[in-house]
Structure 1
Amino acid sequence: MSIKLSLRWSYRAEKVHDMPKDLFILLQAIVDNGSLRAAASEVGVSYRHAWGMLQQWHKHFSYPLAELRRGRGQGASLTKFGEKLLWEYQRLAARLEPELESLASELSSELAALINNGPQNTLRIVASHGLVIASLRELAQKVCDLSMDIQFQGSLDSLLQYKSGRYDMAGFHLPEGKRGKGVLPRIRRLINSETDTLVYALRRQQGLMLAPKNPKDIQSLTDLVRADIQFINRQRNSGSRVTLDAMLQQAGLDSEEIKGYADEEFTHSAVAAIVASGVADCGFGLEAAAAQFNLAFIPLNWESYWFVLPSKQVDSGVMQQFIALLGSNEFTQSVVHLPGYDTKRSGTLVVPDKDLLVLL
C-alpha cells in the first residue's frame, strides 16, 4: 500500500476555485520556452487549451498571468504577478513536500498493518532528504514489493535517531576527500565500527546555486561575504550545513559576515526555489536542485550518500532486498536523468574501519 499526500491550491472570491497543477506546469513551460505554442506542446495540450487556461485565471484574478506578444514568433513571458505565483508555488512545494512524504510513508505503514491484522515487515528508515531518496519508497514497492517507512531529517539528526534504536537504518552524506575530514569527527561519534555496516548509495555534486546567468558574478565561496550578496542557508544539523561550515572554516571565512546565513530552509529544492524567486542571490546545495529551477551552478565538491545499518541485520530478508535495490538497473535508471549524480558503486557493502576513513 502506498498513500500519496499532495498540496492543493485554491482561490476564493465569490466562490472557491481549485487551481490545477497543470496551470503551474504551463507557467514554468512558458518561462522555459518563451512561447505559448512551444509551452503548450511541451505540456501536451493544444495552443487553444493553454490560451484558454491563461484567460480563465486572468478573469479569476482580474490580472494577467502572462503577456502574449502579437505576431509570428513574438513569444510570451510571465507578468510579475505570474512570476510571483509560480515561484511561491514552487517554494512552498519544495518546503512542504518532504514533510508530506514522511507523513504519507507513516500512514501507509499504519494502514497496511490494520489491513494485515498486524505490522508488515516494513523497513524503517530515517534519512537526509534528496530528490532520489524521496523516490525510494515508491521504487521499492514497484520493483521488489518492499515496504518502507521513510522519515526525513538532517544527516546528523538522522544518525542520532538511528543510534537511539528507533529506526532500522539511517541515510546521511558527507563530502569526499580532504573536505570530508572537517565533517568526519561529527559523523564518527554516531557510527559504531564494531556493530554497524555501511551501504554506499550514490555520489552527488554540490556547489553554489545562483540566479540564471549569474548576474552578481559570484565565482567562489569568498564572494558570499560581499555586502551585495544575499544568501539562503540550510538548517542546522543538515549534512549540507555541516559541509558548508567546514568549507567556510577551511577557506578562513567568517559565517557572521555572510548576509542571510541565519535564514534557513529544509531541503535543497527549497533553497533553489528561494534563489529562483529572487529573494536570495545564492544558496549551497545539489546540482540537480539547481537544474530543477533552471539556476546557474558552480560545482564545489562531490559528496557520497550512505546508509548505516546494524551488521547483525545485513542478512535479513528486507535488508537484502534493500541492498539489491540500490545495486539494481531500476535504481540506476531512476537517477540517470538527473545532473550531478553517479551510481557506479551503488549497493556496495562496506565494513567501516575504526576511523571511518572509508567514508572519504
Structure 2
Amino acid sequence: MNNNISYTIDEVAQILKISKLTAYDLIKKGDLVAFRVGRQMRVEHEEIERYKSKNRTGAVQEEKNDSREYKKPRNRVKNQVLLSGQDLVLDILSKHIEKNTSLTPLRSYTGSLNSLISMYNGECDVVSVHLYDGDTGEYNLPYVKRLLVSHPFILMNLVCRTAGFYVKKGNPLNIKEWKDLAKAGVTIVNREKGSGARVLLDEQLRINGISKDSVKGYGVELTSHFSIASAVAGGQADVGVGIENAAKMINVDFIPLIKEQYDLVLLKTKENDELVKIMKEAVCSEEFRSQLEQLNGYDLSLTGKIIYES
C-alpha cells in the first residue's frame, strides 16, 4: 500500500519528470498540496496520483513563456513566496518572515546563476546572488543587469561574507593563492555549475590564465559549502572554494581570499509592491539582525542597503 508514502520535492520532480522549480510552482498554484516536516516540504503519494489523473489528457511539461515577459503564476496559493539560495541566513530570513508577516515562505536551494535564470522565467519571487565579475571586480550587478534585461529590479544586500579556500589542517601543501590550484600534487573538489562559488573559481582561473584542464579534480562536483569542506577534511581533496562560516563547523583551515556581497534580487512590479516592502522591513529589522549577529563569518555593515534600483 502506498497510501502513507510521501515524497520530497526532489522525488516529486523525478516522479513527474519536471524540474524542482516547476514542482514548487505547482505547489504555489495549489495544483499540488504539500505539507511541512520541519524545514522540508513533502507531498503524499495520493496527492501525486490525483494530480496525474487530473492531467491525464496531456503530458506534464515545463511551463514556457515565449515572450519572456515576467508573470507570476496564475491561481497561486495566496501569500506563498519562493526564496531561492543556499546560505543558512536565508533559512533564518524565511523563519522571520513566516513569524512576523502574512507571507508563507517556500525555499529552493539553488545556486546564484540558476536562481537568476529562474527569476527571469517567472519561477522565483526572491533570489540571492553572489556572482563575481572578473572584468570589473564587482559582485552581482553586472550579472543581474544582463540576465534581467528589460525587467526593473531591486538589488539589496543581505550580508557580506569572506570566500576562500578550505584546506587540510596545517595547510600541508601551502596553498595560498589561485595559481596554487594548478600545482602538481594538488587536487580540488568543485561546486556545481550555476553556483556562485563555481563562478568565482572560473573567473579567477580565467584572470590568472589557468586552464581548467590543468586543475586536477575540476570535474568533481558537490552541491554545498559544507560538502566541499567535508570532502577536504575527509581527504577526498586537498582544497575547495567556499565561505568562512562552513570552515568554522568542519575540521579544516580556511584561507581568506575575497570579500563577497551576498545580495537579494526582487523584481519591481506592481504586484510585488507589498513583497518588496515586507522584504525591506524584514532585512532591516533589529530581530533579524540580532539573529545574524550570533553567526560566525558574516559582515553586516551593508545589510539592508539598496545596492541598485532600476
TM-score norm. by structure 2 comes to 0.70
Note the C-alpha offset of 1:276.
1.3
The equivalent of 2:40 in structure 1 is: 104
Equivalent residue for 1:122, pick from 80, 83, 94: 80
* Local SS of the residue matching 1:171: strand
Amino acid at match of 1:171: S
Equivalent residue for 1:298, pick from 255, 258, 264: 255
Correspondence 1:138 to 2:74: no
- Whether the aligned pair in 1 keeps the contact of 2:191 and 2:224 (CA below 8 Å) is yes
- Whether the aligned pair in 2 keeps the contact of 1:212 and 1:295 (CA below 8 Å) is yes
Looking at structure 1, the residues matched to 37 and 161 of structure 2 have their Cα atoms a distance apart, in angstroms, of 21
The equivalent of 2:244 in structure 1 is: 287
Label 1:169 to 1:210 Cα distance change in 2 as closer, same or farther (>3 A). same
Looking at structure 2, the residues matched to 101 and 207 of structure 1 have their Cα atoms a distance apart, in angstroms, of 34
The equivalent of 2:118 in structure 1 is: 161
Looking at structure 2, the residues matched to 262 and 214 of structure 1 have their Cα atoms a distance apart, in angstroms, of 23
The equivalent of 1:343 in structure 2 is: 300
* Local SS of the residue matching 1:217: coil
* Local SS of the residue matching 1:232: strand
The equivalent of 1:312 in structure 2 is: 269
Label 1:245 to 1:257 Cα distance change in 2 as closer, same or farther (>3 A). same
Note the C-alpha offset of 1:209.
0.8
Correspondence 1:232 to 2:168: no
Amino acid at match of 1:320: K
CA deviation map 1:301-348 (0-9, x unaligned): 111112222212487333322221111222222222333311222222
Looking at structure 1, the residues matched to 111 and 295 of structure 2 have their Cα atoms a distance apart, in angstroms, of 22
Looking at structure 2, the residues matched to 130 and 238 of structure 1 have their Cα atoms a distance apart, in angstroms, of 11
Alignment of 1:135-284 (within 5 A): 135-144=92-101, 146-175=103-132, 180-181=137-138, 186-192=143-149, 195-284=152-241
- Whether the aligned pair in 2 keeps the contact of 1:209 and 1:283 (CA below 8 Å) is yes
Label 1:200 to 1:233 Cα distance change in 2 as closer, same or farther (>3 A). same
Note the C-alpha offset of 1:245.
0.7
Label 1:250 to 1:327 Cα distance change in 2 as closer, same or farther (>3 A). same
Looking at structure 1, the residues matched to 254 and 260 of structure 2 have their Cα atoms a distance apart, in angstroms, of 16
* Local SS of the residue matching 1:189: helix
Note the C-alpha offset of 1:161.
0.6
CA deviation map 1:33-64 (0-9, x unaligned): xxxxxxxxxxxxxxxxxxxxxxxxxxxxxxxx
Looking at structure 2, the residues matched to 171 and 106 of structure 1 have their Cα atoms a distance apart, in angstroms, of 24
CA deviation map 1:220-262 (0-9, x unaligned): 1111112211100000111111111111111121211111010
- Whether the aligned pair in 1 keeps the contact of 2:188 and 2:238 (CA below 8 Å) is yes
Note the C-alpha offset of 1:166.
1.8
The equivalent of 1:95 in structure 2 is: none
Label 1:314 to 1:219 Cα distance change in 2 as closer, same or farther (>3 A). farther
Aligned identity (percent) is 30
Label 1:262 to 1:184 Cα distance change in 2 as closer, same or farther (>3 A). farther
Looking at structure 1, the residues matched to 160 and 134 of structure 2 have their Cα atoms a distance apart, in angstroms, of 13
TM-score norm. by structure 1 comes to 0.61
- Whether the aligned pair in 2 keeps the contact of 1:128 and 1:172 (CA below 8 Å) is yes
Looking at structure 2, the residues matched to 201 and 244 of structure 1 have their Cα atoms a distance apart, in angstroms, of 22
How many residues align? The count is 246
Looking at structure 2, the residues matched to 184 and 320 of structure 1 have their Cα atoms a distance apart, in angstroms, of 21
* Local SS of the residue matching 1:292: coil
Q: Which runs of 5+ in 2 are unaligned?
A: 1-7, 9-35, 48-75
Amino acid at match of 2:80: T
- Whether the aligned pair in 1 keeps the contact of 2:140 and 2:263 (CA below 8 Å) is no
Higher-Rg member (1/2):
1
CA deviation map 1:159-193 (0-9, x unaligned): 11101112222221124896635976544321236
Amino acid at match of 2:109: F
Looking at structure 2, the residues matched to 201 and 314 of structure 1 have their Cα atoms a distance apart, in angstroms, of 23
Looking at structure 1, the residues matched to 132 and 114 of structure 2 have their Cα atoms a distance apart, in angstroms, of 17
Label 1:179 to 1:173 Cα distance change in 2 as closer, same or farther (>3 A). same
* Local SS of the residue matching 2:137: helix
Note the C-alpha offset of 1:131.
2.3
